[in-house]
Structure 1
Amino acid sequence: MQSPPPRPANADQIDLKQVFGTLRRYAPLLIATPVVIAGLTYALSSRQPKVYESSASIIAVDSNAQNSLINNTLVTAPPLPQGAVEQVLHSRSLVSNIVERLRKSDLPDDIVRKMREDLSSELSANVFNRLKVRARLDTQQRGVYEILAQGESPEAARQLAENGVAALLEWDNARAKQSVTRSRQSLQAQLQNLTARIDSLTDPLERQSLVSARGQVLQNLSQMAVLETAATGTLLPVAEAVAPTSAVSPRPLRNAALAGLLSLFLATGLVLLSDSLRRRVNGAEDLLPLGLPVLAQLPLVRRRNLAGGFLPASHSGPLYESIGFLRINVLSMLGESSHRRLVISSSYPGEGKSSMTAALAESLGASGQKVLVIDADLRRPTQLKVWAPDRIGTHPLPGTDTSLPPANTVTEMFLHPDAAYATRVGNNVDLLPAGVPHRGDGAGSILNQPAFRTYLDRWSEGYDFVLIDTPPMLGLPDTLAVAPYTDGVILVVEGGKTRLNDVERSLQNARVANVTVLGIVLNKVARTNDTYYAYAYGTPDQKADAAPVLPTGRG
């Protein structure tokens, strides 16, 4: 019996062809999902209220002038540390100042109310969207601050930016005046104290001394008043805010494109993850836990090699050798018993069971065995298409009354068992075709009737092998209805496509029905250059360049 092939050296690596094949199988879903998500996103974004953004700029300058006279006559605030402007702009006192300025503006009351509520809620959440600061500073904290403001209208955005800058400048100037104001207040306190003492003294000499001191305080107080008026901060306006012409949000096209791309990535990831979790049969080693022998591994047949049909393509090359291994394994497994009957099935359509049945029958016939092929897939018959007989002719089966009109299909034979005729399709190979495809439960009722076993015994007389092509096991119960009258089932599994849990489900159904599964044929296997008969396994992408083992129909 054929030994399982060695595990390829790159078995643990990602098979890109299989990945692309998986994506191609799910292409409709992967295309439809982003389109639907993008369309919904566009529709929802279009309905959202528009938001406009305006900006105004201020500059942070050096507090020390180059002219000593200016330095002596001006009071400037110290430089602001990094992040100070943003912290101040998002402080409660400055927000209150901005809100008060908005109330005095000509903006509609509903917009002002909405802006006030948003600014207050942003303070509580410490997440700011209405007013933002973008700084471009050097190492000495000199540079430009850009105040970004968002509003429900272009004018609302402009006025919010302007009021934010105005509140910042007012705060900066107040910061510069603080030290001078404290000095002036201290001098005023001194002046009041001196005046009170002068009024209470009677000594002329002491009184004259205090009057002189009060004059000096008055002079200092006058200078402080001038300095307080000239005090300035380190922030200066650069560019005033301008009403924007277009909204910054929503952007339906951008949002739709991003949502479409994101949904495409997510759908692709989910498809690949789901496909990887649903493990496929990618080698004979995947079938070892099932405890069944791999009777053969049939290579994938390229489309260009199927111009003359599948059976002519099986007469040479690796497929010929593979069918030979299958024939030898089947003969060894069944021994020399007479009337050997086999059911050929699969888990799903398209795995190549019908083509493999025909190829095995032809190989057995060529070795001198008389073979009868019964197409029991009454809903989707395929055997006639595989064989494509050139009017080889028909002949009556044992027990047939030749005076009756011939019954040439399984359905007709079941209705008229005494008029059964077989179609000669090859050397030592006869076929009982299914006939016109059945719809509904009619086909299943034929195979489930007790009389079918009697007819099967009659039709099998004179043949060494009877191969019965039945529907897929996971789709219909017909295989389980026919298999008890045979030696067992050979399960066809498509390499690189059939999922291992589907094979396990088919075997579980067979065990429950007390049906014997003799072995597995691994089909549509892609060849490698490592060995003559040790093949790697075909991927869906490789099948794009290759016809399925079944050239027509869905066997």
Structure 2
Amino acid sequence: MSRSDLKLRPVVADANPTSPISEAYRTLRTNLQYAETDRPLQLLMVTSAGPKEGKSTTIMNLAVTYAQMEKRTILVDADLRKPTAHFTFGLTNRTGLSHVLSGQADLREVVKESRIPGLDVMTSGPIPPNPSELLGSSRMDALLDQLREQYDIVLIDTPPVLAVADAQVVSSKSDGVLLVVNARTGKRQHAIKARNALQFVQARIVGIALNQTAHRDAGPYYEYVDRT
């Protein structure tokens, strides 16, 4: 399948940058930038407690807003179970993160330019049989070091925390974690359980983004998380 055959999915921060929802994502970006100024937030992981809470939509719109600030930005689709970035940006997924982590490709072979100026994407690549092991490998550490050197902002999408161990593995390698919660369908006990699971591996939770909040026209609302 060629890139031209792939159907693009609109990202509101790009398709309608003046909308209230786009402004909400820019506010979320700003809040993250100033969450803890004493420690840089260069590598941010975005996850959720369970499926269909809006984590991938959130991270893709965040990526666009960072690129719009002329930040060198890359979105890494580390959801090696149900990846979505290649669909959203209309990119081929023949090569990607799984190839790098299995030693079949290097960084420059899998990074793809998106239609958004300044935003690169690393798609997941073919779904491997051992995602958690690959994400916890020394190759993943080396890859993240490379990305830190080449980009201002590295955004990593992972599977939901309560589904598999992948998010816990990646969170321990990240500068911070944003937990996305669907305000309409998400359950409080699931969000608490996800937070506890991340804290167990000493992840730095920088906030919770409440998605589908009525007073924000279905946009995200950021809340600082007190980790004391």
Find the counterpart in structure 2 of residue 424 from structure 1: 113
Q: Does 1:412 align with 2:99?
A: yes
Which residue is equivalent to 1:375? 77
Alignment of 1:139-150 (within 5 A): none
Encode CA deviations 1:9-41: one digit per residue, 9 max, x unaligned: xxxxxxxxxxxxxxxxxxxxxxxxxxxxxxxxx
Q: What code does the residue aligned with 1:423 have?
A: K
1:409–1:433 Cα contact (<8 Å) kept = yes
Tell me how far apart the structure 2 counterparts of residues 536 and 356 of structure 1 sit (CA, whole Å). 12
Aligned to 1:316, the other structure's residue is in SS state coil
Q: Which amino acid aligns with 1:428?
A: G
Measured after TM superposition, the shift of residue 338 of structure 1 is 6.0
Q: Secondary structure at the match of 2:172?
A: helix
Is the 2:9–2:90 contact (alpha carbons within 8 Å) kept by the matching residues of 1?
no
State whether residues 32 and 206 of structure 2, in contact with CA within 8 Å, keep that contact through their aligned partners in structure 1: no
What residue number does 1:309 align with? 10
Of residues 26, 31, 41 in structure 2, which corresponds to 1:329?
31
SS in 2 for 1:485: coil
Q: 1:511 deviation in Å?
A: 1.6
| Distance change in 2, residues 1:512/1:349 (3 Å) | same
Q: Distance in 2 between matches of 1:347 and 1:458?
A: 29
1:485 maps to 2:173 = yes
Tell me the TM-score normalised to structure 1 length: 0.35
Structure 1: gaps spanning 5 or more residues? 1-306, 392-406, 528-532, 538-555
Shift of 1:356: 0.8
Task: Identify unmatched segments of 5+ residues in structure 2.
Answer: 1-7, 220-228
Query: CA distance change for structure 1 residues 444 and 313 in 2, over 3 Å: closer, same or farther?
Result: same
Cα shift at 1:315: 2.1
Shift of 1:318: 1.2
**1:341 and 2:43 equivalent?**
yes
- Check 1:323–1:461 CA distance in 2 against 1; reply closer, same or farther (3 A cut): same
Q: Which has the larger radius of gyration?
A: 1
Mapped partners of 1:308, 1:452: distance in 2: 28
Cα deviation, residue 340, structure 1: 0.6
- Describe the shift of the 1:383–1:481 C-alpha distance in structure 2 as closer, same or farther (beyond 3 A): same
| SS at 1:506 equivalent | helix
Rounded to whole Å, the distance in 2 between the matches of 1:433 and 1:517 is 24
Q: Which has the higher helix share?
A: 1
Q: Distance in 2 between matches of 1:366 and 1:504?
A: 33
**TM-score, normalization by structure 2:** 0.82
Matched, 1:506 2:199: no
State the distance in 2 between where 1:470 and 1:519 align.
Answer: 16
- Name the amino acid aligned to 1:500: R
* Residues in 2 aligned to 1:492 and 1:314: alpha-carbon distance in whole angstroms: 22
Query: Alignment partner for residue 521 of structure 1, among 201, 206, 209?
Result: 209
Task: Report which stretch shifted further, 348-357 or 334-343.
Answer: 334-343
**Could you tell me how far 1:443 is from its partner in structure 2?**
1.4
Aligned residue for 1:326, secondary structure, equals: helix
Contact 2:107/2:143 (<8 A) preserved: no
Q: 1:168-212 deviations in whole A, cap 9, x for unaligned?
A: xxxxxxxxxxxxxxxxxxxxxxxxxxxxxxxxxxxxxxxxxxxxx
SS for the counterpart of 2:212 is: strand
Partner of 1:451: 139
Higher relative contact order (CA 8 A, sep 6+): 2
The Cα of 1:308 is off from its aligned counterpart by 6.4
